[in-house]
Amino acid sequence: MTDVPLPTLDEIEQIARDTVAGFPAPFRAAARAVAIHVADWPDAQMLRELDIDEPHELTGLYEGIPLTEKSFFDQPTGPDRVWLFREPILDEWRTRGDVDLAELVAHVTVHEFAHHFGWSDDDIATIDRWWE
């Protein structure tokens, strides 16, 4: 892993976009309205709102109203967003040592978009046993 050049923010974003492009048609269509942002780290406000002390713990975040809760009465202030955090993803990749980096980025992307589709962490965990 040490000889592999680390991906840029743009390269991680491209992996995420390629992942979304591979969604089944109904999910892909619903995902089009979601903005994808990649940053090195989550900002302090995100961590405070989630009550997370260690920024390495947050590899991704969905910001928005899940499709299962949206109403035409909602007045959007901007697009829903999926955030991917490069440094925490790289840290998990290094720590695990048993997964391809592109697979990890795709996994985090799918997990965050699942929240957009209205799935809870418990729902996701029943079909995605990633940590095993």
For 38-52, what is each residue's pLDDT tens digit?
999 999 999 999 999
Q: Coil, helix or strand for 84?
A: strand
Report the pLDDT value the prediction gives residue 128, as an integer from 0 to 100: 64
Work out the pLDDT band at 127, boundaries 50, 70, 90. Answer: low
Cα–Cα distance between 60 and 30 in angstroms, integer?
A: 19
Cα–Cα distance between 108 and 103 in angstroms, integer?
A: 9
* The amino acid at 82: V
Residue 115: name the closest of 63, 43, 57 by CA. 63
pLDDT in tens, 76-126: 677 899 999 999 999 999 998 888 999 999 999 998 999 888 877 777 777
Q: Hey, which residues does 20 pair with through a beta bridge?
A: none
- When the pLDDT of each residue in the chain is averaged and rounded to a whole number, the result is 87
Residue 34: name the closest of 72, 70, 73 by CA. 70
Structure-model confidence comparison of residues 2 and 13, the more confident one: 13
Report the pLDDT value the prediction gives residue 46, as an integer from 0 to 100: 94
Q: Is the pTM of this model over 0.75?
A: yes
Cα–Cα distance between 123 and 128 in angstroms, integer?
A: 9
